[in-house]
Amino acid sequence: MTSRFLASVAALALTAGSASADYTLHVLHINDLHSRIEAINRSDATCSAKDAEEKACFGGVARVATAINQLRDKLRADGKNVIVLDAGDQFQGSLMYTTYKGAVEAEFMEKIGFDAMAVGNHEFDDGPEGLAAFLDKVTFPVISGNLDLSRSNLLKGRVQNHVVLEVGGEKIGIISALATDTVETASPGPDVIFQDEIDSLKADVETLTAEGVTKIIALTHIGMTADLKVAEAVSGIDIVVGGHSHTYLSASDPKRAGAYPTWASQADGTMVPVVQAYAYSKYLGHVELTFDDAGKLIHAGGDTILLDASVAEDEAILARVKELAGPIEELKNRVVAEATADIDGDRANCRQKECAMGNLVSDAILDRVKSQGVQIVFQNGGGLRSSIPAGQVTMGAILSVLPFQNTLATFEIKGSTVLNALENGVSQLEDGAGRFAQVGGMKYTFDPALPAGSRVSDVMVNDNGAWVPLDLEKVYSVATNNYVRQGGDGFRMFAAEAMKAYDYGPDLADVLAEYMAKTGPVAPALDGRITRK
């Protein structure tokens, strides 16, 4: 096992015999698993047999089960208090979700024994029906306090605002909120009403405090930037356990995005810790909280634990995973292309600047429809879900990049709408939002230091091989995916202003696979189509 994992287990024994009037709670947590039921490789795609032989795999639910069970069992054997939480987005991201639509995620969460889960935006990818089917299969509470579900026949009364867990004779309140832009990033439908995250959390704190609950965890799916705002603004919460932004926090790794925990200060000087554990089952978060007799948090510490190949996979769960993988193995392992180098689809890049995967997917779309007169392609960075390593490229790897079953969409818009769409793409850079526009047949420059809405300049369009300035009055033929064309990721201007829209082309994954096969070995490259000042 890894030294960090062993150290986490061994450290528990050091405090096993200590006596104190204080109350200590251990929280084990994951977020944004994104259907990585099978182990993953260094690119966050499904691990190959070769990777497994080289012990280059991470995560997967069989390792998650081992890590949680061993830590939880050790804690309980030493008389410690422990809960296991999930901060949302179990859905979407692999053939396991495409094939089984949340049923396997529910099955393994039940087997592992989660105590509570926050609703993530991708839990709505197949509408309220998809979340309702998941709720049918789990016994632990699934919560989200800022959702008004009173109009939803499918979800009314089934997603709680909050939950109170009895742990070691103490009441632990768990409150939750889901990002309000879920209406743009998923498909919650008109009957799911979103309320302000901070207002909702404040109201739930008041409710729990009135019930005498003094220890309150905010289990959120709103992203690290918003989590810090919550930690600063919501009095009465003791910690934020978050997800959505896939932020890698660590107490020890210099490559981290931030410290584990990261601390926020409230107006009265109260310090509130925020934790998150990256994504895709690669890490398990473990935070230890100590409260005094009055329920005031007096200590928070811990770390994320890397679940690499040295963490043994739970044999029973691994056998079940292999059984489920059987029907999709042939498709997943079919070699469709070759890459001469790693194709970068990392979210940290594709949501901030030109990335190789964005170029490749955009060029594949443009190649497919250029005979129809299409000049411009938009591909949302958030629609690119993993990188592809060098070597043989399987259909499984392509489906890990493009798992949403989005279809190719074509339409016409004026140049002024193109500019507005590009401004939307760079409007939430600070949050790493998925709306960032990777493009084909077009170049643009943006300046993140300028106010949102005025960041884009020097937009050029390829017109029969010549680069010419975007004409705001000209009507252009454009292609994207059906999700973006219908207004997803803030591209509402496409839904409102598109002419001659057709959203029912081939699956984007098939478009990419066929393009890569046609072009021969793919040499990923950046060509300066997007310039960041």
Q: Where residue 9 falls among pLDDT bands split at 50, 70, 90?
A: very low
505 or 349: whose pLDDT is higher?
Answer: 349
Strands (E), 99-153: 116-118, 142-143, 147-148
pLDDT of residue 13: 36
Question: pLDDT tens digit string along 188-240?
Answer: 999 999 999 999 999 999 999 999 999 999 999 999 999 999 999 999 999 99
Mean pLDDT in residue range 45-64: 93
Rounded to whole angstroms, how far apart are CA atoms 178 and 523? 39
Residues 350, 351, 354, 358, CA torsion sign: positive
Mean of the per-residue pLDDT values for the chain?
Answer: 94
Domain 3-323 matches domain 335-532 at the CATH topology level:
no
The number of helices, as runs of H, and strands, as runs of E, in the chain is 17, 27
Percent of the chain with pLDDT strictly greater than 70 = 96
Given the DSSP bridges, would you call strands 297-306 and 283-291 parallel, antiparallel or unpaired?
antiparallel
Query: What is the pTM (predicted TM-score) of this model?
Result: 0.81
pLDDT(276) > 50: yes
CATH number belonging to domain 3-323: 3.60.21.10
CA distances from 15 to 79, 80, 98, 170, 291 (A): 10, 10, 45, 20, 16
Per-position DSSP letters for 222-290, written without gaps between them: S-HHHHHHHHHH-TT--EEE--SS--BEESS-TT-SEESSEEEE-TTS-EEEEE-B-STTSEEEEEEEE
Question: pLDDT tens digit string along 398-409?
Answer: 999 998 878 899
Lowest-confidence region among 8-12, 190-194, 451-455: 8-12
Q: Where are the domains of the chain?
A: 3-323, 335-532
Q: CB count, 10 Å around CB of 280?
A: 25
- Output the six-digit token pair for 297: 């948090």
Pick among 3.30.230.10, 3.50.50.60, 3.90.780.10, 3.40.1390.20: CATH of 335-532: 3.90.780.10
pLDDT(462) > 50: yes
